[in-house]
Structure 1
C-alpha cells in the first residue's frame, strides 16, 4: 500500500487590487520636472503682480486726498471686465442698471469667457474673484503647454520651455493674463490645441481649437494654422485614411458660425459682431497705410494726453515686433505659424488705428518660443530682455490696475 500524504488546507492568498490614485495625484504624476519648474515660476509671478496691485492701491488712489485705498479686488474691475460681467449676469440682450443702449456693444465679445464666468460664479459668489480664478487656472494650463511646445525637438527642451514661459510672464502686457480677461482662457485651449496638432492628434486639436474660438475670434486664425500644419504633415498612413481627419481641422470654425447665427436670429444682422466692433472700437476697415498713419499721429502729434499717446506708441512697437516675427517665420519656412501671425496682423492692422496689439502679443506663441531658442544660442538675449523689456510689465500692471488704458 502506498501511503498518502494528508492534504494541506492552504488558503489561497488574496490579491489586493491597487487603489486608484486620487484625481489630484494622477494629475501631478503627469507633470514632468520641467512642468513643475514652469508652474513654480508662474506662481511666483502671480504673487509679484498681486503685490504690484497692492502697492498701486496705496500709491495711486482715485482720490488724491484719500486716507485709505480702494478695495484690492476693485483694481481688477477695469475696462472690458464690465462687458464680460454684464454678459455673464444679464446675457447679451438683457438690460442692467445704468445701461446706455447707445454704447451697449456686448455682442462684440465672444461667449466663451462670460459663460465660463457664469458657471464659476455658481460656486464662487464674488464675480471678480470668479474671473480672477478662471485666469489663474487657465494661465497654469497655458504655461505648461507653452513650455512643452518650446521644448519640441530642441536638444535642451526643459531650458527652452522655461525660457519661453519666462519671456511670456515678464512681457509688457502680462497683467492681462492675471486679470479677468480672455487671454489666459484662450491660451489654455489654443496652446494645447497646437501641441496636439504637432503630435498629429487632429481630433483633439480640432476640439481644443473650437473651445479657443468660443473665447476669441483669434481661434479662427489658430484653425488656419492647424489646417496648414495638417496639409504639410508627413504621415505614413494611407492618404484616404489621413484625409478623414481633415474635418477635425475645420471644427474651430463651428463656434463662430453658431454665434453668428444666434446674433442674426436676435438682431437680423449677419454682421452684428463686426458692427459692434466698429461702433465701440473703430474697427472698420482701413488700408494698412491709413491705420499706420492714424496711429502714428495719435502717438507723436500731441493730439491726445500723454498717457494715451504713450499707449499708441506701444501699439506701434507691437506692430513692428509682429512684422519682424512674421518675416523671420517666412524666412525659416515656418508656414503654419506664419499664417497665424499674418492673420493676426492683418486683422489688427486694418482698422482705423492700431488697438490692443500689445495684448495680442500674449497669444503669439512663436514669439515666445523663438525668443527662448534664440536666448539659448545667444546668452545676452535673456539679459537684454530682463533688463530692458521686463520692467515695462510693472509699468503696464500699474497702468491697468490704477484704471488707465493699458492696451
Structure 2
C-alpha cells in the first residue's frame, strides 16, 4: 500500500517592506499621555510666569503688573526679535559699527521661523511662544518614541518625557529660544535614522543646522550611525542624503561673507560677544571655577557658574557611560558638544544645553525603571530647581 506524499505548503508572498513615517498622523494612546503631560507642564510654567509679573515687578512701586507676555521677553529673545524685524545688517550696520550687538552669532533658523509665524500672529512675543509650544510638542513625541525603541519598559516614553520636562532648565523650552525648535527637528531626524529613513534624517538635520550649531554634532552622530549600521552596497546609496545638512552652514557663511567680507563672521561674533575663543579645557574649567567661587562676581552670576560646573560634570559622566555602553553615535554627539562648550574662556549655557542631550533623559528613565526611588528623588530635587531657574529667567536675571 502506497502512501501519498504530503501536499506542498502554499507559499504566501511576502508584503513589501513599508517605510514607516517619522510621525504617524494619529498619535496612539502612549503619545496622548505624553502630550497631556506636556500641556500640564506648560500650564505650570505659564502660571509661574503670571505670578512673576505680579510679585516681582521691575518697579517696586508699580500698581499694575507688566503685560502678560513680558516675562518671556528676556536676554537672547531680543537678538532673535531684532533679526526677524530688521535682518542681520540693517541700514548698513555691522561689526564695524560702534556698539554692535553681534547678532550674526545667532543662526537664521529661528528668526526666519519667527518672521513667518508673525505674518499670521501679529504680536512678536506671542509668535515666539507659539513656535516653542508647537515645537516642544513635536519634540516630546519624538523623544518618547525614541525611548520606547531603546527601553523594554512599556512606560518608557512617558517616564523619559517626565524627566525631560521637569529638568532644571525646562523654562527655555517655553521661551522664545531655539531649544524647542531645534529638538523638534533633531529628535525626529534621529528617529528617522533609527528607522533607516535617511532622506528624512538628512532633510531634518539640514533644518536643525540652521537653528543651532549643535546640528553639526547631530550630523556627525548620524554619519557614524549610518556607517555602523548600513550593510550592502545598495543601502550605501542613501549616503548622499547625509551631505544635505552641509547646505545650511555653507549658505549662512556665504551670506555673512557677502555682508561682512568674513566667512567666519559667526565665530568672530561669538568671540566678541561671549568670549568663545579657544582655550584649553583645563583653563576653561579654572576660569569658570574662579568666577563661581572666588567672589569676583555678584552672587546670582556666581551661582549660575556653579551650575555650569555641575552641568559639565554631568555631561562627562554621561559621556563615559555612553562609551562604556558602546553607544558610539550618541557618545560622539555628547563629546563634540562638551568639547565646543568646554573650550571657551569660561563655560556658558551648559545647563541649558542639557535639554539637547536626549541620551541623558533616556538614561535616567532606564535607571528609574531599575530603581524606582530615582524618580522620586529626582522630582523632589529637580522641581524646586526648575521653579527657581524659571523665576530667575522670567524676572530678567541671568539664568544661563
TM-score after normalising by structure 2: 0.92
Distance 1:302 1:329, change over 3 A: same
Asked if 2 retains the 8 angstrom alpha-carbon contact of 1:90 and 1:96, the reply is: no
Aligned residue for 2:218?
Answer: 222
Pair 1:339-2:332 in alignment: yes
Pair 1:348-2:341 in alignment: yes
Asked if 1 retains the 8 angstrom alpha-carbon contact of 2:230 and 2:236, the reply is: no
User: 1: distance between equivalents of 2:245 and 2:81?
Assistant: 25
Instruction: State which drifts further: 394-403 or 100-109.
Output: 100-109
Out of 42, 65, 69, the residue aligned to residue 65 of structure 2 is: 69
Pair 1:53-2:46 in alignment: no
Distance 1:153 1:323, change over 3 A: closer
User: 2: distance between equivalents of 1:154 and 1:369?
Assistant: 8
How far 1:156 moved relative to its partner? Answer: 2.2
User: 2: distance between equivalents of 1:229 and 1:213?
Assistant: 18
Structure 1 counterpart SS, 2:287: helix
Aligned residue for 2:391?
Answer: 398
5+ long unaligned stretches in structure 1: 1-26
Aligned residue for 2:192?
Answer: 196
Pair 1:102-2:62 in alignment: no
Aligned residue for 1:262?
Answer: 255
Aligned residue for 1:89?
Answer: 85
Correspondence list, 1:161-310, <5 A:
161-235=157-231, 239-310=232-303
User: 2: distance between equivalents of 1:359 and 1:28?
Assistant: 30
Pair 1:129-2:122 in alignment: no
User: 2: distance between equivalents of 1:338 and 1:250?
Assistant: 21
Correspondence list, 1:103-122, <5 A:
103-122=100-119
How far 1:396 moved relative to its partner? Answer: 0.5
User: 2: distance between equivalents of 1:70 and 1:340?
Assistant: 41
User: 2: distance between equivalents of 1:196 and 1:62?
Assistant: 46
Deviations along 1:90-120, one digit per CA (max 9) or x if unpaired, are 01101499x9742321100110000000000
5+ long unaligned stretches in structure 2: 1-22
Aligned residues: 376
Asked if 2 retains the 8 angstrom alpha-carbon contact of 1:227 and 1:250, the reply is: no
Aligned residue for 1:378?
Answer: 371
Pair 1:150-2:143 in alignment: no
User: 2: distance between equivalents of 1:33 and 1:156?
Assistant: 15
User: 2: distance between equivalents of 1:258 and 1:374?
Assistant: 42
User: 1: distance between equivalents of 2:287 and 2:258?
Assistant: 36
How far 1:154 moved relative to its partner? Answer: 2.5
When Rg is computed on C-alpha atoms for both structures, the one with the higher figure is: 1
Give the superposed CA RMSD: 1.6
TM-score after normalising by structure 1: 0.90
Stretches (4+) displaced over 6 A: none
